[in-house]
């Protein structure tokens, strides 16, 4: 049996990477949990390689190539350098945290990226004045709906709440907005969304509310009449997570890691910049602020 366990583990790991969409949830949403941390499965490859080298005979060593190939098939594109950085629209997305003690400092840090749009979540009533004051000169157009907000260099029209509230949540829960930005590239529908949080408990991944909210956001995007659409938000999902599929049916994003959460040791990108009619490129994190999320920024080319 020497080495055969390593071969079996290598085949299993390759299967999880390549066929993660077919991993059943068993009523616990285990598939979504796997997909949230899918890139990190690659860390098992050097461990298996070391074990295969140590074991004799070394028949297991070639088998370790299977998960390595599978990982590069899924994530290899994430390692390709960004394209054109000289044109297009720039957006910054940040869950600024309702416990942020320095909203003005956070606003100044986000402006360092020189974005055209800044989307914030967890905007509290006391902090919104600080954001408005700091952003006022460079971003004279803005909309605040509930706890989400959008600041823009360009005029905003049709700014209103976007209904992504799960049925079991109260009417005071408002974490979505839609506005139309009048950009040099033409009108762009900009959505800012903060989907419900998920929890990991004894019953598995508790994501029912987030999944319901994602379905509602997906329906809004499907019905959106404008050809150019940007979605900015803390979606509490990675782009590999099947729970975000209703949204990703209508928008796409850049193939970049840019882990944004938790800020102290980021392991997943649950903050997203997505678009339709525009190509998202050069998605990256920005320096840490007073939040438990890292800000992310991206360029969008027409």
Fold of 89-301: Deoxyribonuclease I; Chain A (3.60.10)
Query: Residue 220's closest CA among 150, 162, 181, 281?
Result: 162
Phi, psi angles (nearest 5°) of residue 290: -85, 20
Q: What is the pLDDT of residues 21-40, one digit of tens each?
A: 888 866 667 788 888 889 99
CB 148 within 8 Å of CB 123: yes
Q: What is the pLDDT of residues 194-216, one digit of tens each?
A: 999 988 765 667 889 999 999 99
**Alpha-carbon distance 44 to 49, whole Å?**
9
State if pTM tops 0.85: yes
pLDDT value, residue 203: 61
Q: What is the pLDDT of residues 253-280, one digit of tens each?
A: 999 999 999 999 999 999 999 999 999 9
What residue segments make up the domains of the chain, in order of their start? 4-79, 89-301
Residue 78, Cα to own-chain centre: how many angstroms? 14
**Alpha-carbon distance 93 to 109, whole Å?**
12
Return the residue matching tokens 């900009």. Answer: 190
Query: Within 176-236, where are the H helices?
Result: 208-223
**Alpha-carbon distance 60 to 63, whole Å?**
5
């Amino acid at each position: 049996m020497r080495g055969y366990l390593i071969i079996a583990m290598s085949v299993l790991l390759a299967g999880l990477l390549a066929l993660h969409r077919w991993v059943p949830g068993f009523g616990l949403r285990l598939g979504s949990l796997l997909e949230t941390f899918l890139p990190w499965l690659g860390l098992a490859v050097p461990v298996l390689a070391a074990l295969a080298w140590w074991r004799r005979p070394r028949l297991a060593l070639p088998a370790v190539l299977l998960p390595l190939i599978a990982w590069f098939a899924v994530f290899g594109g994430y390692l390709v350098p960004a394209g054109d950085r000289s044109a297009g629209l720039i957006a910054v997305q940040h869950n600024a945290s309702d416990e942020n003690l320095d909203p003005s400092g956070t606003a100044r840090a986000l402006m360092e990226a020189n974005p055209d749009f800044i989307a914030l979540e967890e905007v509290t009533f006391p902090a919104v004045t600080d954001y408005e004051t700091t952003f006022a000169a460079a971003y004279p157009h803005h909309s605040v709906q509930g706890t989400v907000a959008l600041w823009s260099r360009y005029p905003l029209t049709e700014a209103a709440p976007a209904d992504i509230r799960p049925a079991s949540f109260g009417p005071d829960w408002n974490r979505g907005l839609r506005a139309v930005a009048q950009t040099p590239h033409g009108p762009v529908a900009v959505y800012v969304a903060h989907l419900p949080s998920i929890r990991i408990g004894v019953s598995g991944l508790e994501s029912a509310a987030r999944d319901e909210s994602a379905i509602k956001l997906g329906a809004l995007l499907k019905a959106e009449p404008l050809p150019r659409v940007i979605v900015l938000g803390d979606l509490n999902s990675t782009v590999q997570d099947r729970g975000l599929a209703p949204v990703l049916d209508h928008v796409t994003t850049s193939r970049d890691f840019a882990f944004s959460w938790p800020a102290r040791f980021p392991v997943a990108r649950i903050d997203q910049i997505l678009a339709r009619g525009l190509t998202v490129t050069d998605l990256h994190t920005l320096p840490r602020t007073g939040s438990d999320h890292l800000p992310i920024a991206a360029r969008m080319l027409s």
